[in-house]
Structure 1
Amino acid sequence: MVGVLLTLVAIGLVSYFVIKNYYPPIILLLLGLLLLFCAYLEGVPAVAPKASTNFFAFDFAQAFTNLLKGRLPGLGLNIMAIAGFAVYMDRIGASKALVKLCVKPLKAIRSPYVLLALTYVVGQFIALFVNSAVGLGLLLMASIYPLLVALGVSRTSAAAVIATTCCLDLGPSSSNAMRAADLCNMDVVTYFVQGQGPVALCTIASVAIGHFFVQRWFDKKEGALANKEDTKESALDVDKALEGAGPAYYAILPMLPLGLLIGFSPLVYKAIKLNLVTAIIVSLIIALVVDIATRRDFKQCCKDSQAIFEGMGKVFTSTVSLIVCAEMFALGLNKIGGISTMIQAAASIQNAGLFIMLIVMLVIMIVAAIVTGSGNAAFFAFSPLLPEAASSVGIPTLALAVPVQLSAGIARTMSPIAGVIIAVSGITGLTPIALIRRTIPVMIIAVIVSVTSSLIFL
């Protein structure tokens, strides 16, 4: 019982400090150390006897060292490689070229709400290659948002759809997907295709349909229809927003890593083995050669390649540090035993263990994501609990990991302090609360559909 109380207090403290805008990694690290100390007082060591420094205080630091050693060469390097590639694609105009290509078919659609639904689908497709919710939101606000308003969509509806375009953390480039695949002892491509794939398709369809009806209902209720002045002004902004885009064939470059990973995966061609980092390096070399051949300015192309390492360093200070510190917090939670107690209690309920366990994990993840405004922080803090939770009710970790992992990104889009919500609302002049009023109903539908489809397919 003490462990449960300490767990609830720790979660409450994390929520409080994140809401107050404290730096999340250091908060998670300090609370993790505090929990390890509480566990030590109860006779639970921070590390295994073989790895002990023979001094309990140093063992706390050793636990963190072990996490760093385990994450930097694997998951950490994967995430930094993806970030470096993404920043380089933005630097050479390949990301804008991809958006420009995807925007063209939308111009032919005249029904505002059909356009909204398809905009979400297109945005979620782009999210496979631009895996930052804030980055994608800003890119779409600069490019697709003016187009939507120019074609008769209300500003509020357009903002709501764009804010949700990265609500599902999908694909091998998603750090949450990498972590989930690691917990399931699966290759990330296999996790994406066999685990996320069928669930994501159902969820994407439900979000697109949800936006069609929800945004139309809100527009009618609030009278928030596009006016002629908005339409004329935004029509002029579309081409300006896509200035700096590379040639049309540059749109292929952001898709290279995913294409290589799927093409040389156990699902397609087994003879050649290709991991994520190697696929990124190959893609970077191809992109650099294409850029040099196109611009014929070797010095400038070399200078632009600096963006690769800038992106890697930036994501280390944000995402990788968050991952390791969140795992330190999760280690502390595991050591005090509160989460295990709650998991065992849920598992002991006859004939409802699976459903109760799923609800418990979903509630923890959704509340954490809404309170912190971060799908990554929530998932990395509590995802280490998934294997134990799944085994306690006798199901594969995949069946629990997919809906819980997807719920973290969905719940982030319901948070008024999420980066993408703040960014989109700031550009449109809306308040974050006004924006999430439009996103919450659709995201609730997304959670229900993702859970239901997970139970059916997994």
Structure 2
Amino acid sequence: ILLNIVAIVKKEHTGYVLKEANEEEGKEFKVNYLYAIIPIIPLVLLVLGSKQVAVIPEISVPVSMLIGTAIGIIAVRPNVTDAVKKFFRGTGDGMCDVVGLMAAAACFTAGMQYIGLTSALIDGMKNSQQIAQIGAAFGPFLLAVISGSGNAAALAFNGAVTPHAADFGYGIMQLGSMAQLGAGIGRSMSPVAGAGIIIAGLAGINPMEMAKRNAVPCIIATVVIMLLLL
């Protein structure tokens, strides 16, 4: 809602055309709905195979991703050699950008505990529920803004602080959910988030400009969620 308000105030809600784009190319572009649907097939398979839905037999994440990849190759019919190379390059990027960040977050959590920062934070949050409320929301939020990863920030906070939720007067589900949501929102305004950098590149702008634009709506959203959850 807030981002739409910003767009209306800046009179950008009627559409945007990249200045450097070729107008003729823009006119020729058409959405291939089959190609657009393929990336969500693994997610659909995971939902349908989940214990809660159970429409199809349970499918693991790697299997669902391989099925989606196979369907994509059949639909697009690229050079198989190039497709396999790109698949494994993407797998390596995922290990580097996702798993690597989570490992870094685990190390960060261990470091916090080793130097006594975790215990100091917990003691401070025990003394005031207001401090615990703000810390649960904006701790992961700031970590995500700095690191560019919502998962890594939430993992760091949930690993170090959330297990002590009862000491602050909250349930683990409450505190964990707030940390996860706060980290996700923080990632949305991070200038170093991988997805943000890609989107900024597509829009032809500096990632920092995107972060500035998202800052106020993201901060307000975090405050609203904090008041609703905690």
TM-score class, shorter: 0.7 to 0.9
Q: CA deviation at 1:437?
A: 3.5
Partner of 1:440: 215
Q: CA deviation at 1:330?
A: 0.9
Partner of 2:68: 283
Q: CA deviation at 1:366?
A: 2.1
After superposition, the Cα gap between the structure-2 partners of 1:284 and 1:441, relative to the gap in structure 1 and judged at 3 Å, is same
150, 154, 157: which one aligns with 1:375: 150
Within-5 A mapping of 1:410-449:
410-419=185-194, 430-449=205-224
Q: Give the TM-score of the pair, scaled to structure 1.
A: 0.42
Partner of 1:22: none
Alpha-carbon displacement from aligned partner over 1:335-392 (angstroms, at most 9, x marks no partner): 333212321331243xxx3x53231132222222233344344334433124323243
**Does 2:23 match 1:238?**
no
Q: Tell me if the contact between 2:4 and 2:13 (Cα under 8 Å) persists in the aligned partners.
A: no
Within-5 A mapping of 1:294-373:
295=77, 300-301=79-80, 303-349=82-128, 353=129, 355-373=130-148
Q: CA deviation at 1:444?
A: 2.1
Q: Secondary structure at the match of 2:59?
A: coil
Q: Give the TM-score of the pair, scaled to structure 2.
A: 0.77
Q: What 5-or-longer segments of structure 1 have no aligned partner?
A: 1-208
d(CA) in 1 for partners of 2:111, 2:200:
37
What one-letter code is carried by the residue in structure 1 that aligns with 2:41?
Answer: L
After superposition, the Cα gap between the structure-2 partners of 1:252 and 1:229, relative to the gap in structure 1 and judged at 3 Å, is closer
Structure with larger Rg: 1
Partner of 1:144: none
Q: CA deviation at 1:410?
A: 1.8
d(CA) in 2 for partners of 1:439, 1:274:
37
Q: Secondary structure at the match of 1:268?
A: coil
Q: CA deviation at 1:256?
A: 1.3
Alpha-carbon displacement from aligned partner over 1:131-167 (angstroms, at most 9, x marks no partner): xxxxxxxxxxxxxxxxxxxxxxxxxxxxxxxxxxxxx
What one-letter code is carried by the residue in structure 1 that aligns with 2:189?
Answer: M
Partner of 2:43: 258
d(CA) in 1 for partners of 2:177, 2:169:
16
386, 392, 400: which one aligns with 2:167: 392
d(CA) in 2 for partners of 1:278, 1:442:
38
215, 235, 243: which one aligns with 2:7: 215
State how many pairs are aligned: 229
What one-letter code is carried by the residue in structure 1 that aligns with 2:165?
Answer: A
Give RMSD over aligned pairs: 3.6
Q: Tell me if the contact between 1:263 and 1:269 (Cα under 8 Å) persists in the aligned partners.
A: yes
d(CA) in 2 for partners of 1:270, 1:225:
41
Q: Tell me if the contact between 1:344 and 1:392 (Cα under 8 Å) persists in the aligned partners.
A: no
Q: CA deviation at 1:431?
A: 5.0
After superposition, the Cα gap between the structure-2 partners of 1:301 and 1:454, relative to the gap in structure 1 and judged at 3 Å, is farther
What one-letter code is carried by the residue in structure 2 that aligns with 1:323?
Answer: M
Alpha-carbon displacement from aligned partner over 1:162-218 (angstroms, at most 9, x marks no partner): xxxxxxxxxxxxxxxxxxxxxxxxxxxxxxxxxxxxxxxxxxxxxxx212222222x
Q: Which has the higher contact order (CA 8 A, sep 6+)?
A: 1
Q: Secondary structure at the match of 1:265?
A: coil
After superposition, the Cα gap between the structure-2 partners of 1:317 and 1:344, relative to the gap in structure 1 and judged at 3 Å, is same
After superposition, the Cα gap between the structure-2 partners of 1:360 and 1:432, relative to the gap in structure 1 and judged at 3 Å, is same
195, 219, 225: which one aligns with 1:450: 225
Q: Which range moves more in the overlay, 417-426 or 321-330?
A: 417-426
What one-letter code is carried by the residue in structure 2 that aligns with 1:307?
Answer: K
d(CA) in 2 for partners of 1:451, 1:260:
33
Within-5 A mapping of 1:32-431:
209-217=1-9, 219=10, 236-239=24-27, 247-269=32-54, 272-288=57-73, 290-291=74-75, 295=77, 300-301=79-80, 303-349=82-128, 353=129, 355-393=130-168, 395-419=170-194, 430-431=205-206
What one-letter code is carried by the residue in structure 1 that aligns with 2:224?
Answer: V
Q: CA deviation at 1:305?
A: 3.0
Q: Tell me if the contact between 1:374 and 1:412 (Cα under 8 Å) persists in the aligned partners.
A: yes
Q: Tell me if the contact between 2:18 and 2:204 (Cα under 8 Å) persists in the aligned partners.
A: no
d(CA) in 1 for partners of 2:67, 2:159:
32
Alpha-carbon displacement from aligned partner over 1:401-457 (angstroms, at most 9, x marks no partner): 2222222232233344445555555665655554434222221232133334434xx
What one-letter code is carried by the residue in structure 1 that aligns with 2:4?
Answer: F
After superposition, the Cα gap between the structure-2 partners of 1:374 and 1:284, relative to the gap in structure 1 and judged at 3 Å, is closer
Q: CA deviation at 1:302?
A: 5.1
After superposition, the Cα gap between the structure-2 partners of 1:237 and 1:449, relative to the gap in structure 1 and judged at 3 Å, is farther
